[in-house]
Amino acid sequence: MEFVQQKRGMTAEDLYKLNSVNDPQVSPCGTKAVYVQTSIHEEKHQYISNLFLTDLEKNISSQWTYGEGKNTSPRWSPDGSRLAFISDRSGKNQLFLMSASGGEAKALTKEHLSVSQPVWSPDGKKILAAISLAPDDKLDKEDRDEKKLPEPLVVEDMRYKSDAAGFVKNRKRQLAVVDVKTGKLELIGSREFDYNDGAWSPDGKSIAFTSNMTDDPDQTLISDVFILSLETNEQQQLTNSNGFFGNLSWSPDGSCLSFFGHEKEFQSATFSKIWLYKMETEELSCYSADWDVHISDAVVADFISGSVNPGLIWTEDSQGFYFILTDQGNTGVYYGSLEGQTLPVRFEQEHVYGLSVHPGSHTAVLGISSPDHPCDLYFFDFSTGENRQLTNVNDEFLQEIELAVPEAIKWNAEDGLEIHGWIMKPVGFKNGEKYPLVLEIHGGPHAMYANTYFHEFQMLASSGKAVLYTNPRGSHGYGQHFVDQVRGDYGGSDYTDLMSAVDYALETYDYIDKDRLGVTGGSYGGFMTNWIVGHTNRFKAAVTQRSISNWISFYGVSDIGYYFTEWEIGGNLIDDFDKLWQHSPLKYVTNVETPLLILHGEKDYRCPVEQAEQLYIALKRLKKETKLVRFPDANHELSRSGHPKLRIDRLNHIKNWFSEYL
């Protein structure tokens, strides 16, 4: 008798066993690709990222860098003979260079600088890179006394902290040109402003970048596109200081500069569009003005590490381009021509999170994830339709795992609007049995759940829970009007959308126990979890994560609070105090009867921990069932890129709370 191995469900700790592959880069010759593979060292609880090379003709991959640090952002030299990449092996992210034939990597930048986003010059002699500098920082050496006494932080700007970087301390993001031969750095532009999204012109004579050079950047929240002439040092502004733009790329013939962005028509809910600037006529036009879709990847997930927005990828003849598009719970690849013809070249029930295209052969390497396949890289020939899988980074481990496969659902909300979502049966599902259901709510709110792998969902499904996750109004992927409907109405129709999802699930699936319902979410999903338990007692357990509970205090303490509150809620602390309180879950805390677990990172500057503290103390003062878990040194990205052990702890707290109360 043949022995059949009994499969098990996914656990929180299985994050240690999964690998992520990302940022594929096809070589200039089109026969090879380099990519980043990330894993977690289980004993040291640290991320390890190394570069791998794959032969696209033979489907053979080999490891290129080693060690227990992070090696990321690989970029081929124009002739394909060298590879630039970023490594933290010296303690900070530095720019390294190595031969494409192998050998030891050479550091090009100094250890006191933190470098990112390398871009080769067309002649291969220089590399453009991003660095962060304070006014007194030097390029050539460390000019600080590590033993100096502490000094107060003097704040004069409204945006003085960042969830990603902490206190800015007057630092500006700069672009520097690195000489490949000597390692000498030369800044472009002025240290007075931030510079981002650097892109060389094909002739190497100019650099395009984005910046906010208005008189008062705190009050004028924009990102303009500029072109700087390296010969004359003159710069030209291409956009009108009325929107956000980025992801710059030149056509190979230099006739056109492309970028993504929008003119803030719907503030933070505005779809990203494709823009083209023609150099000869100095004409700026919106290529996708009439499209009711979001350009780029708007998917929210908790596993794939190091995703990179590839922007617009031009073809060799400068007559067309490829790009990623978000729609209806999926992302895929589209082709567009300068004549205005567009067509999908890869759009399936999946999440395309990585893209690199060889401009001459129209072949590509894609990173793809689906709910029951965490991630892998695939080769595609857009001309012939040939496609094949290049990596199998999790196949061996997944042979012992039973993954839940979601079912896509659609229903009509209270006002008749069609809403899209998914439901997962528990792992080991048996007909005739009743199961608890957990409603998951994504953050943003302008993001999208999708046909992608989500570790938290799989863990809950393996613990005997059905999982319901949806894209209520405010989500990307369903049109500009849909994504804008939540603004000024937090806790209104978005709340009834979510309740209609639960109603639909209970009416449609007889295996759900209506008396064992749970709800959880993070960021905006945490706000909505707080709102839900203050407005209904139908849920028997809730977990709120990195949440907002009080829009009044949020206004002054978040790194985005002063403008995000105005854009999303429609009011400010000075003129609209009552409106902010009306939309604050804390106002309704006396109504809460649902046991509520509160999870929050200590260094979350996006939704600061005081939001959790207020909610927790108010609930305890009222003798409600609650618990607060604070994660040291964790920011808003805890669930996605936080310390591995804390990510595991977070997942287990969620699982255990629902197991206890459901």
Q: Residue-wise over 111-124: b if at least 16 C-beta within 10 A, else e? A: ebbbbebbbbbbeb
Q: What is the pLDDT of residues 236-286, one digit of tens each?
A: 999 999 999 999 999 999 999 999 999 999 999 999 999 999 999 999 999
As a whole number, mean pLDDT of residues 425-454 equals 97
Q: How far apart are CA 118 and CA 106, in angstroms?
A: 15
Q: Does the structure show a pLDDT above 90 at 627?
A: yes
What are the structural domain ranges in the chain? 402-661
636 is catalytic: yes
As a whole number, mean pLDDT of residues 515-542 equals 98
What's the confidence (pLDDT) of residue 111?
75
Q: Does the structure show a pLDDT above 70 at 152?
A: yes
As a whole number, mean pLDDT of residues 445-467 equals 98
Q: How far apart are CA 241 and CA 255, in angstroms?
A: 23
What's the confidence (pLDDT) of residue 255?
98
Percent of the residues in the chain that have a pLDDT greater than 90, as a whole number: 87
Q: What is the pLDDT of residues 77-94, one digit of tens each?
A: 999 999 999 999 988 999
pLDDT confidence band for 189 (50 / 70 / 90): confident
What's the confidence (pLDDT) of residue 1?
46
What's the confidence (pLDDT) of residue 445?
97
pLDDT confidence band for 171 (50 / 70 / 90): confident
Q: What is the pLDDT of residues 538-553, one digit of tens each?
A: 999 999 999 999 999 9
Indicate the CATH number for domain 402-661. 3.40.50.1820
Q: What is the pLDDT of residues 350-402, one digit of tens each?
A: 999 999 999 999 999 999 999 999 999 999 999 999 999 999 999 999 999 99
Global pTM reads 0.96
Q: Which residues contact residue 497 at a Cβ distance below 8 angstroms, ignoring those fewer than 6 apart?
A: 413, 414, 417, 419, 470, 472, 473
Q: What's the distance, CA 433 to chain centroid? A: 38
As a whole number, mean pLDDT of residues 394-413 equals 97
pLDDT confidence band for 142 (50 / 70 / 90): low
**CA 502 vs CA 433, 459, 507, 517, 647: distances in Å:** 19, 20, 9, 9, 28
Q: Does the structure show a pLDDT above 80 at 229?
A: yes
Q: What is the pLDDT of residues 460-499, one digit of tens each?
A: 999 999 999 999 999 999 999 999 999 999 999 999 999 9
The SS3 assignment for 539 reads: coil
**CA 288 vs CA 273, 274, 293, 324, 334: distances in Å:** 6, 5, 9, 13, 12
The SS3 assignment for 575 reads: coil
Radius of gyration of the chain (CA): 25
pLDDT confidence band for 147 (50 / 70 / 90): low
As a whole number, mean pLDDT of residues 429-436 equals 97
Q: Does the structure show a pLDDT above 60 at 416?
A: yes
Query: First-to-last CA distance in the chain?
Result: 40
Which entry of 61, 296, 369, 523 is annotated as an active-site residue? 523
The SS3 assignment for 506 reads: helix
Q: What is the pLDDT of residues 91-109, one digit of tens each?
A: 899 999 999 987 889 999 9
Provide φ and ψ at 465, rounded to 5°.
-110, 140
Which entry of 358, 636, 643, 653 is annotated as an active-site residue? 636
446 is catalytic: no
Q: Does the structure show a pLDDT above 90 at 134?
A: no
Q: What is the chain's mean pLDDT, rounded? A: 95
Q: What's the distance, CA 21 to chain centroid? A: 15
Q: Does the structure show a pLDDT above 80 at 4?
A: no
Q: Does the structure show a pLDDT above 70 at 614?
A: yes
pLDDT confidence band for 144 (50 / 70 / 90): low
What's the confidence (pLDDT) of residue 306?
80
Neighbours of 143 (CB within 10 A): 11
Q: How far apart are CA 77 and CA 497, in angstroms?
A: 50
Q: Does the structure show a pLDDT above 60 at 35?
A: yes
